[in-house]
Amino acid sequence: MNKTLHDILIFAAGFGAGAFVMHHFFQKKYETYYGEKYEAEHENLRQKEADMDKTIEERATQKSFEQLAGKYRTESDPEDIVEHAPIEIIEPDQFGEDDEYETCFLSYYADGKLVYDGEAEPLDEEDVQKTVGTEALTHIGEFMPSAIHVRNHNYHKDYEIMQVRQNWSDIDPNEEDE
């Protein structure tokens, strides 16, 4: 019995020593392995966070630039650009509603002269074509009697043209001399 007890104690001591050595060996091995893995993952997360902060900062800067730039945007901006005819006839209620367009008033006389209100000289044919177009003058009275409204997208102006029954030469005596 003494021998059996001795064998059991030696077996238990060997088992305990083996378990103790294996525990310390694997503990150091796994601490090293998982420590490196943890540090790599932690560094990866820090890098992603830094990239995210940089992206947020860039987007915030871009957004503030877009808000500041407003109407001074260039054609290369990704915003949809609406194509307009350079000169279009508009309804009377659209006249002056767009703040980006200046309003101007003209008179169209019976003898075919178009004059800015307050001006002493009528527009020549080339200026009429550039400002309101000759097509607009044929549509006088379409929306309201003796008037037509024209939007010039090139000059950013809205024009109101009132038809006058008098001749320009009756108002301006110098016109007869020419």
Number of domains in the chain: 2
> Is a pLDDT exceeding 80 seen at residue 149?
yes
Please state, as a whole number, how many other Cβ atoms lie within 10 Å of the Cβ of residue 159.
Answer: 25
Residue ranges making up the domain that contains 99: 87-169
53 and 105 in a single domain? The answer is: no
Q: Is residue 129 part of a domain?
A: yes
- Binned at pLDDT 50, 70 and 90, residue 74 comes out as low
The residues, any chain, with a CB within 8 Å of residue 134's CB and separated by 6 or more, are: 128
Residues 14 and 67 placed together within one structural domain of the fold: yes
Q: Residue 81 pLDDT > 90, yes or no? A: no
Residue finishing a domain among 30, 45, 72: 72
84 in Cβ contact with 153 (< 8 Å): yes
pLDDT of residue 147: 93
Q: Is residue 81 part of a domain?
A: no
Domain boundary among 72, 102, 123: 72
Token code pair at residue 147: 């008037």
pLDDT in the model for residue 68? 74
Is the pLDDT score of 177 beyond 50?
A: no
Is residue 134 one of the residues assigned to a domain?
A: yes
Give dist(CA 171, CA 72) in Å, integer: 43
Stated pTM of the model: 0.51
Q: Can you give the pLDDT at residue 170?
A: 83
What's the average model confidence in pLDDT over 137-162? 90
Tell me the per-residue pLDDT of 35-57, one tens digit each, with 9 for 90 and over.
888 898 989 999 999 999 899 99
Residue 118 pLDDT grade (very low, low, confident, very high; cuts 50, 70, 90): confident
The answer to whether residue 41 sits within a structural domain is yes
Task: Note the pLDDT of residue 121.
Answer: 87
CA 130 to each of CA 13, 25, 71, 72, 112: distance values in angstroms, whole numbers, following the listed order: 108, 91, 24, 24, 16
Asked if 162 and 125 sit in the same domain, the reply is yes
Average model confidence (pLDDT) for the chain? 84
